[in-house]
Amino acid sequence: GSGNDLIYGDFFGDAVSADTLTGGTGEDRFIFLDVGKTTHMVPSAIAGQPAYAVSVSITDTITDFEIAGVGGQGFSSDNLKTTSIFGPHDTIDLSYILNTKSNFAGIGAQQAISQGYIHFVQHGTQGQAGFGTTVMVDLNGGSTHTDAGNNFAVVELAGVSKASLGSELFLV
């Protein structure tokens, strides 16, 4: 809704469904407490062959992630929202995931991004349906992100480009 909201994405017990999250106006903090994959059985395309399992990331979608006020961050009096001298913006809180499920030992989102624990995958064509960026968490860090068992899609940011995402939008 309007105002400064705390919105929980997938968390323990809910990491089996993809949710649509909308914060509305104000500085919203989207909090993620778990990463997850689920297994789906896919029927074989070959007659007489058994179905096979496919592991799929569970990803929520934020429909209105606000980045307009990025730059010169500080903290508001309630110590829950990141505010900017240029205006309000939303934040994504990955602190629980990085502190309890990964081997990240750094401080701050900039280190998490530069060490490969948080990375972004842009998809689609800007201005067209389906455009956005997936926020990924690699529990081992690094630059290759090829270890499927430790590399998770956490949230889709509808209509947001990879280039517009900076460390000030993330809490670790």
What pLDDT sits at residue 122? 94
Mean of the pLDDT values across residues 17-36? 82
Q: Which two tokens stand for residue 58?
A: 């569970």
pLDDT of 140 over the 50 cut: yes
pLDDT of 13 over the 60 cut: no
Q: Which is more confident, 134 or 16?
A: 134
User: Distance (Å, rounded) from C-alpha 60 to C-alpha 132?
Assistant: 13
User: Distance (Å, rounded) from C-alpha 148 to C-alpha 122?
Assistant: 18
Can you list the positions of beta strands (E) in the chain? 6-8, 20-21, 29-31, 37-42, 52-57, 60-62, 73-75, 82-84, 87-88, 91-93, 118-123, 132-138, 151-158, 170-171
Residues 6+ apart with CB under 8 A from 169: 67, 70, 82, 89, 90, 91, 92, 109
Specify the long-range contacts of residues 2-6, CB closer than 8 Å, at least 24 apart. 2/26, 4/28, 4/29, 4/76, 4/78, 4/80, 4/81, 5/29, 6/31, 6/80
Share of the chain above pLDDT 70, in %: 71
The pairing of beta strand 151-158 with beta strand 132-138: antiparallel
What does the pLDDT look like over 69-108, one tens digit per residue? 654 343 333 334 444 444 468 999 999 999 998 999 998 9
